[in-house]
Structure formats: C-alpha cells, structure tokens
Structure 1
Amino acid sequence: MLLRLGVLLRDRGYTFTTVTPATHARVNRRPENARAEGLRDVLGWSRPFGNGVLPEQVTELMDAAGVLVRDGDDWRSLVRYSSYDSELFVHSAFPTTAPDAVFFGPDTYRMANAAVAHVKTRDRPVRRVVDIGCGSGAGAIAVAKRVPDAEVLAVDINEAALRFTRVNSALAGTSGVRVSRSDLLDGVDGRFDLIISNPPFMIDPAGRAYRDGGGEHGHGLSLAIVDAAAARLEPGGSLVLFSGTEIIGGRDPLREAAADHLDGTGLAWTYLEVDPDVYGEELDGPAYPHAERIAVVLLEATRPA
C-alpha cells in the first residue's frame, strides 16, 4: 500500500524537500503551522490533521498500510515522502524518535550526490555495488539508475529500512536493487566494485540506532565500514563514505582514526570536509562538551587496479 500511495502522490505532482530536524521543528512551531492543510503538511511536515483534509483515496491507502494514527480529531501519519533525483522516497515521520526510525534529510542528499558523482567520474565499469546501512535506499537507487546493468545490494539491520527500501526501489523502477538484511557485510558474499555508506555518526546519549555512530566520538561505525571495505573491495574498487565528526581544538578525530585504519591496506584515499559546521544545536547538549564544531565529511578510498 505504501507503493500505491507513492504512485498516487507522484501522479498528483507531490514534491517535498526534507530539512534538518532543527529546521523542521522551528518551522512547525509557527502558529500558522499548528495543523495541516494539505498533502505536503501531512506527508512532508508531519503535522496533525483531521477528517477531510486529505483526499479520501489517500487516507484509505494510509489506513491499509497501517501508517494512519487517529487520536480523536488529531490524525497523524507515521511516514513521510521526500523528493530526490526525480523520485519519491518513503521514510519515517518527524520526529524520528522510534528505535527503528528511518532517517532521510540533507545528509541523504549529500551522500547520494557524492555516490552519483563518483560513478560519473569513474573510469572502470561498475558491476557490483553495496549500500551499507541503506536506510531509505536513496544511495543504492541513485547508483542503480546510473548503472542499470549492475547488481546493487541495499543492506541494513533495520527491518523498517529494508521495507522502505523495497517500496522506494519499486517506485523508482530500479529492478537491479537487491534488498537484504546484513550487519555491515556479514550477511552478503563476494567483493564489490563500489561500496557506499552514510552511517549514523552522532554521539547520541539515547543510543538510537539510526543516529548513534558508536564510540567516544561517534565514528565507531564509520571505522568499521572502512575496515569492511578494505577487506572486500575488488581491484579498482572504491569506498564512498559520507560521515560526520566533531572537531576538538582544531583536531579531527575521525580523520586521524581513519588514517590509522587505512594504513597498510594499500588503499589510496582522500578526505574532504563537505560542510564545516552542521548540527550546531548539538553543541548546547551534554554529548559534545569539548567540540568547537561538527563537520560532515566525505572519505573516498580506492584499491589500485
């Protein structure tokens, strides 16, 4: 039913660009945004609504999919639909507080764009790809559209993410995407020409799986992906890792740790700060007492052919 709902929204010309949680909350706090008045308010901004706000066909499909919650006159959707690369992607509603929440936002756009840019500039064929921690599947689907003959695996440990990725792949018509459960690469065999990932990288005291990157600085999962890629890349194969890091006294602990993990692997790598200052609101909390800023970064590593 989520697929049918996505098709209906697409046919109606629905589009929505998902913003950061802080911006989302700020916009929704405006008095005029207290309740939804249409499709984008409900399925983009996650605002409460009542009977008659949405077309009957939409509410019927939401009901059938189990994503419509009724609480008196306050109805809510458990999902959002966001636009990227001329496609629609279903993912979790705001706020993403559930343990199995599937995040979609500015980092999703950045990661998928980086993966597409890598594919476009690559001088070797791409036959086998894996998106580790695929979430909504945006990265895997964007790559599959550029290399339609490749086998593209989308893997995650979150069953909700796998469900949404299947829906999103069907919406996009990317039949080459194969969705399966895997902890990193433990559940899939073989080597890869391209490994992409946008893992959780925040320090999250609540330990939410979609957000907490693990370790002292929140980059434990990113380093585990670096290690997995170093063991499974084909000659000429590449890792495109979009992550984040706290900067402490001008030092980047993720870059330092990545250098240690890549030393001796034979991989050539580059590291770029994509945005030097994101999630500034986190600096007011207890998780980042020593950080002067949080940056998002792109690490690309390639095994020589």
Structure 2
Amino acid sequence: MTTTMAAPTDTDTALLRLGERLKAAGYRFTTVTPASHDRVNARPGNARARSLTDVLGWSRPFAPGALPDDVVTLLEQAGQLRHDDDGWHSLIRVSSYDDELFVHSAFPACAADAVFFGPDTHRTVDAALAHLRTAPAPARVAEIGTGSGAVAIAVAKRVPAAEVVAVDINPTALYFARINAAMAGTANVRACRSDLLDAVDGQFDLIVSNPPFMIDPECRPYRDGGGEHGHDLPLRVLDTAVARLAPGGSLVLLSGTGVVDGRDPLHAAVTERLAGTGLRPEYREIDPDVYSENLEHAYAHADRIALVVLTVTRPEDAS
C-alpha cells in the first residue's frame, strides 16, 4: 500500500516556497562526489559563502547579508538552519537536474538518515530513462531506496499515467522525496515507507534501484552494501525484483563492484542467481574506475571499482 498525501505543514510550505524562489532566481547547482566537494571547498577563498550556490550547493557557512533576507527566512521557517561559532549553515542542499530542483542533505552527508544526491543519481536516472525509451510505457513503477525521489520523479514526468511508488526505510528520504515530487508537479508519485517492497503489494512493470553497494568497515547504512564485497543489498534488491516483476517487466539496477584481476564478483553472483530462471539479464559496465580514494582502504585488494547497470527483464509469456 502507499501512503496518503498529508496536508502540507508550515515547514513543507516553506520548503516549497524556497524551491519556487530558487527557480525564479535561475538557481542551478550540480552536486559532485564527496572527494571533489572537499577539494573545491579547500581552495583559497572558498571557506565562506558569498552566494546562493555557496550556501545551498557547496554547504559553506555564511554570515548575515550573504543571502537575500527572504531566503534566510524560508530556511529558518523550514527548520533547515543551524548556527555555531563558524556562522550560519544550511541543513539542506539543493541540486538541479532534469530541469528540476531537488532538496537533499547538506555536506558532509554523514548522519544515519542522510539523503544523497550526486553523480550516481544522474547515472541511475539516465539508465532508467534509457530503458523507458525502448520499452512499453509501464503502468506501475517502483523505485527501491528512493532517497531524493529523483528517479521516481523523472519516470513520472515521462509516464504521467503510471502509478509510481517511491519506497525507502528512511523517513527523511521520504520527506524530501515528497517535497521534491511536489516541486516537480508529479502528482502520480507516492512515497511509502518500506523495507524493499515488503509494504507494497502487487507486481511492477518497472523497478529501479541504486542501493548502497560499498564495502564499509563502519557499516554506515547510507553507504554499506553488506557482505564481503558490499553486494548483499544489491542482491537482495535483485531477488525482490525477480519475485515482483510483471510479465514483460524489468529491473534497472545501478551498483558498484570491486574488480580483482579481471574478476567481477557482482557479475558472478548475478549470473549464478539468474541461471535457469528464464529471465533476460543485461550486465553493462558504464564506468570502469570510480571512488579510487577507497583503493587505499576497504578496497585495497581490488584493482578498480567499476559502476555497472544490470537490467533484468521477465519475458511476456512468463507465468
């Protein structure tokens, strides 16, 4: 089942008005990887904010007068301002993508309920939309681990007749996804708190997911995929989708994998799981070398960390 849309609260209204204000101002910001974010913020002159993108993109502290008064008021009304000895800080970032604005967690996003948006979000949206261009329009769609809701919103914009369910176990993610869907005007997106698809009934024509996939010794929920290779959660998503795909339906899954001497352990696990199922998998490496800073630590055994897109389709004539 999906959650019903509650009446907007004062904080909801403030965030929505902030989104309108930013759109009117022509605000644009592309969120980069944490490593790039650190490097850019460490440059001389970048310690303090002087603009909207400095505050709401780069998460830099700011002093009175750095932002228009109405923007500060809306952040305060939304409960998204913090003050300390370093100055004022926005508790959110706002990223632009696909002609929309998306609210998500400020940098560094290290809280247990952090909501991420960045290059992998772009990649997952792109993979989902590429699939839509070659597949029949889905009537029912699920995004597992919706985060900011970016995939659900992008799909809903292209298929306005579809029922799009955005699921997550993180209440903060569901809140931001609901706000972002309202800002985008996608009334066919419904947020649902669910562990995978446990709280959602029925079959789906399209399931999309970009779950945590890293090996993380600290076991942080927004990063750790679980297991020896960080693949436990992506494989749980695969197993769930296999059981819930309608005939002709597809899973589009973006994940990462540590490649050792040419061997990809995620590919091997997927191949073993799908053997004899009659499902049609396509496994494609889309970036051969990402997050290289981890090769000195949790991935010291690996030659590289690659990003892959797995598409699994249930044949139309499947029972």
Q: Normalised by the size of structure 2, how large is the TM-score?
A: 0.94
Residues 1:185 and 2:197 are matched in the alignment: yes
Indicate if the aligned counterparts of 1:51 and 1:73 stay in contact, CA closer than 8 A: no
Deviation readout 1:126-156 (Å, 9 max, x if unpaired): 1000000000000000000110000000000
Residues 1:95 and 2:108 are matched in the alignment: yes
Residues 1:258 and 2:273 are matched in the alignment: no
Structure 2: gaps (5+ residues): 1-13
How many residues matched? 303
Structure 1: gaps (5+ residues): none
Residue among 163, 167, 170 paired with 1:151: 163
State how far apart, in whole Å, the 2-side matches of 1:249 and 1:70 are: 49
Partner of 1:271: 283
Residues 205-214 or 124-133, more deviating: 205-214
Partner of 1:108: 121
Residues 1:300 and 2:311 are matched in the alignment: yes
Residue among 212, 230, 239 paired with 1:218: 230
State how far apart, in whole Å, the 2-side matches of 1:297 and 1:30 are: 32
Q: After the TM superposition, which residues 62-141 of structure 1 pair with which residues of structure 2 at under 5 Å, given as runs?
A: 62-72=75-85, 74-122=87-135, 124-141=136-153
Q: Normalised by the size of structure 1, how large is the TM-score?
A: 0.98
Indicate if the aligned counterparts of 1:276 and 1:295 stay in contact, CA closer than 8 A: yes
Partner of 1:35: 48
State how far apart, in whole Å, the 2-side matches of 1:246 and 1:258 are: 14
State how far apart, in whole Å, the 1-side matches of 2:218 and 2:16 are: 32
Sequence identity (%): 65
State how far apart, in whole Å, the 2-side matches of 1:28 and 1:304 are: 49
State how far apart, in whole Å, the 1-side matches of 2:185 and 2:249 are: 26
Partner of 1:51: 64
Indicate if the aligned counterparts of 1:226 and 1:262 stay in contact, CA closer than 8 A: no
Q: Which runs of 4+ in 1 moved over 2 A?
A: none
Q: Could you tell me how far 1:117 is from its partner in structure 2?
A: 0.9
State how far apart, in whole Å, the 1-side matches of 2:73 and 2:218 are: 35
Residues 1:284 and 2:296 are matched in the alignment: yes
SS at match of 1:6: helix
Indicate if the aligned counterparts of 1:80 and 1:93 stay in contact, CA closer than 8 A: yes
